Structure 1
Amino acid sequence: MPVRKAAHAGSWYTDSGPNLSRQLDFWLNQADLIHGPARAIIAPHAGYQYCGACGGHAYRQISPVVVRRIFILGPSHHVRLSGCALSSAQKYETPLYDLTVDRQVNADLEMTGQFEWMDMDTDENEHSIEMHLPYIAKVMEDYKSQFTILPILIGSLSPDKEACYGRILSTYLADPQNLFIISSDFCHWGHRFRYTYYDRSFGNIHQSIEGLDRMGMDIIENLNPTEFTNYLKKYGNTICGRHPIGVLLQAVQEILRNDQTQNASFKFLKYAQSSQCRNMNDSSVSYASGALVFE
């Protein structure tokens, strides 16, 4: 049985199960349930010392009693993909317990002809999906034998491709027993990221970064995929999960087109930065957590 190792445990987050459990409990308890039960969340994927607390605000909105299948859409950082790739593993290790991949849905998605497979090396080198697995394991620990996961690695998609995958996945998003986790950090700012946009009208650099991020966050809350694409073209904001976010927005719009009785609401709950940039030699990464509900 192919098992995907917890390759970043012991570096990006602790490999001690008891310590990890306590840490995640603490962050979840710091957050309030104010926009749930979530059908989808956006949460960051950096090292937990930077973004673990921020992520807790999104995971707090999940109702584990209803969730039976969890889709994790993560951007590809190391391998160039023009589409989306499914996991070839059957289980994913975490320091808490192993998570089981839904092989039936994997097969159903493969039948669409729109998905490829990622090999184990690609999977284990990538962090965007793995960083969500401990949080999933923690939130679902009382139902550990009653749910499966669907890791999907998202490549560099055109708007038309985002719409294509959004249509395919909208069927699953429409099911209240399915949860979508969208893995994304927000602005990567500094010379090392080759991005130094600075609008001085905001004040300090870190305030300009926040203003830019919040502009994008407002568009996401409006659930408008075209406006989000235009925002990215205009400002070039280095949101690494922009394509998973685009797929989610397209899936929501597909659901709303097909069912006029549905009402969707997305709300961001927490924003943070790894550091506050004050001069052009500084750098930072931004994090945002939010939740989507259908009413």
Structure 2
Amino acid sequence: MGGTRPAAKAGSWYIGDKEQLDAQLDGFFSRIPDAVTELPLPISGARIVIAPWGADAEAADDRHAGYDYSGKCAAWAYSCLDLTKAKRVFLLGPSHTLALSGCAVSTFDKYATPFGDFKVDRQTVERIKETGEMQDMPQRNEIREHSLEMHLPLLYKSCQRALGSTENFPTIVPIIVGDNDLEEEGEVGKVLLPYLREEENAFIISSDFCHWGPNYSYTVYSADASLARLTTLRSHDAAPAGPPIYESIGWLDKSAMDAVESGKHEAFVNNLKRTRNTVCGRHPIGVAMAGLELLAKEADDGNKHRFRVVRYERSSEVTKPNDMSVSYVSAYAVL
């Protein structure tokens, strides 16, 4: 179909003015230390990151939308990301606008940002579509979908920092990951494996973590870090007598983050089955973990090719069952 996907959320979910957006993102990056986990930034070989995009504004009355909440956390992931050899960047995000099984690829030639356009690597998109038996994302749904768009201004800034001229910028490969089970995620991981091997490819996995509150139909509570007994609070209930709700949310997220850091795809899937944690990008993360687990087996290196969490934040500290919160995580893996 071709054409340019507009920056549909610019001016509403994030700042649309180029200079103001530039200043905001510069402010986020300026707060990041020079080294993370004792490694200088960007981390050499860290070609894949998990980064938040900001919560669903329609579900949260705009209170958690955009970069005011997620941007500060996302800057940690993008500061770790090594783009020095990048020729293309794969963007994997969840679908919010289309009931989707399997995966869908972009039909656009370019993605617009307030800073400039990214070219879509049509050749790679078509190759992946054929290999993975993926479908085309209808353009009307792709324009409405925000899980990839929210990353592009941050990616643009990161490319400027790493590569300078836009002539050196990588192309992008946008992929929307649908509601897949363990085996289906594993099959997509196999499709991505050849690209994970190549140092000219980088990957951005789009996900927020726990969406807690009545608007998200998730009010699970645990009175201790073991998560041995999970209860569901009702919006009219009194605040629990035990630890505050935000501590429980932290334990739920810590359990999911530990599973991500384990490098075991099945452990992550099983964790979310047990806790029902509302990690919106569970399927893009699952696909990435499946591919990384295969890569680790090839390299016979259990420590490499595993995500390392570098930042965790929440939009608010929930104390009452009718409050809301969204959690944000940044992580990287060295390939």
Instruction: Name the TM-score, length of structure 1 as normaliser.
Output: 0.96
Corresponding residue to 1:267 among 290, 308, 314: 308
Aligned residue number for residue 166 of structure 1: 189
One-letter code of the match for 1:7? Answer: A
- Answer yes or no: is 1:188 the counterpart of 2:199: no
Correspondence 1:1-295 to 2 at 5 A = 1-32=2-33, 33-34=35-36, 36-37=43-44, 38-46=46-54, 47-141=66-160, 142-146=164-168, 147-201=170-224, 203-260=243-300, 263-294=304-335
One-letter code of the match for 1:148? Answer: T
Cα shift at 1:113? 4.8
Percent identity over the alignment is: 40
Preserved contact between residue 64 and residue 143 of structure 1 (Cα < 8 Å):
no
One-letter code of the match for 1:119? Answer: P
Preserved contact between residue 210 and residue 253 of structure 2 (Cα < 8 Å):
yes
Distance 2:93 2:210 in 1: 16
Distance 1:50 1:156 in 2: 26
Preserved contact between residue 44 and residue 55 of structure 1 (Cα < 8 Å):
yes
Preserved contact between residue 295 and residue 305 of structure 2 (Cα < 8 Å):
no
Structure with max Cα Rg: 2
Q: Quick check: 197-206 or 99-108, which moved more?
A: 197-206
Task: Please give the secondary structure, in 2, of the residue aligned with 1:198.
Answer: strand
Preserved contact between residue 137 and residue 144 of structure 1 (Cα < 8 Å):
no
Segments of structure 1 that go 5 or more residues without pairing to the other structure are none
One-letter code of the match for 2:265? Answer: P
Cα shift at 1:24? 1.2
Cα shift at 1:143? 4.3
Cα shift at 1:261? 5.7
Task: Please give the secondary structure, in 2, of the residue aligned with 1:14.
Answer: coil
Preserved contact between residue 185 and residue 285 of structure 1 (Cα < 8 Å):
yes
One-letter code of the match for 1:188? Answer: H
Cα shift at 1:265? 3.6
Distance 2:248 2:300 in 1: 38
Distance 1:220 1:57 in 2: 17
Residues 231-281 of structure 1, C-alpha deviations (whole Å, 9 max, x = no match): 111110000000000001000011122232683242111111111110111
One-letter code of the match for 1:282? Answer: D
Q: How many residue pairs align between the two structures?
A: 294
Cα shift at 1:48? 0.6
Preserved contact between residue 195 and residue 238 of structure 1 (Cα < 8 Å):
yes
Distance 2:259 2:301 in 1: 22
One-letter code of the match for 2:5? Answer: R
Preserved contact between residue 47 and residue 82 of structure 2 (Cα < 8 Å):
no
Segments of structure 2 that go 5 or more residues without pairing to the other structure are 55-65, 226-242
Preserved contact between residue 86 and residue 116 of structure 1 (Cα < 8 Å):
yes
Cα shift at 1:23? 1.4
Distance 1:64 1:229 in 2: 29
Preserved contact between residue 293 and residue 305 of structure 2 (Cα < 8 Å):
no
Cα shift at 1:64? 2.8
One-letter code of the match for 2:195? Answer: Y
Preserved contact between residue 312 and residue 328 of structure 2 (Cα < 8 Å):
yes
Instruction: Name the TM-score, length of structure 2 as normaliser.
Output: 0.85
Distance 1:265 1:252 in 2: 7
Distance 1:285 1:178 in 2: 30
Distance 2:14 2:317 in 1: 23
- Give the superposed CA RMSD: 1.4
Q: Any runs of at least 4 consecutive aligned residues in structure 1 with deviations exceeding 3 A, and if so which?
A: none
Aligned residue number for residue 240 of structure 2: none
Preserved contact between residue 78 and residue 126 of structure 1 (Cα < 8 Å):
yes
Distance 1:61 1:261 in 2: 21
Residues 81-132 of structure 1, C-alpha deviations (whole Å, 9 max, x = no match): 0010000000000001100000110121122152110121111111100000
Cα shift at 1:29? 1.9
Distance 2:24 2:51 in 1: 17
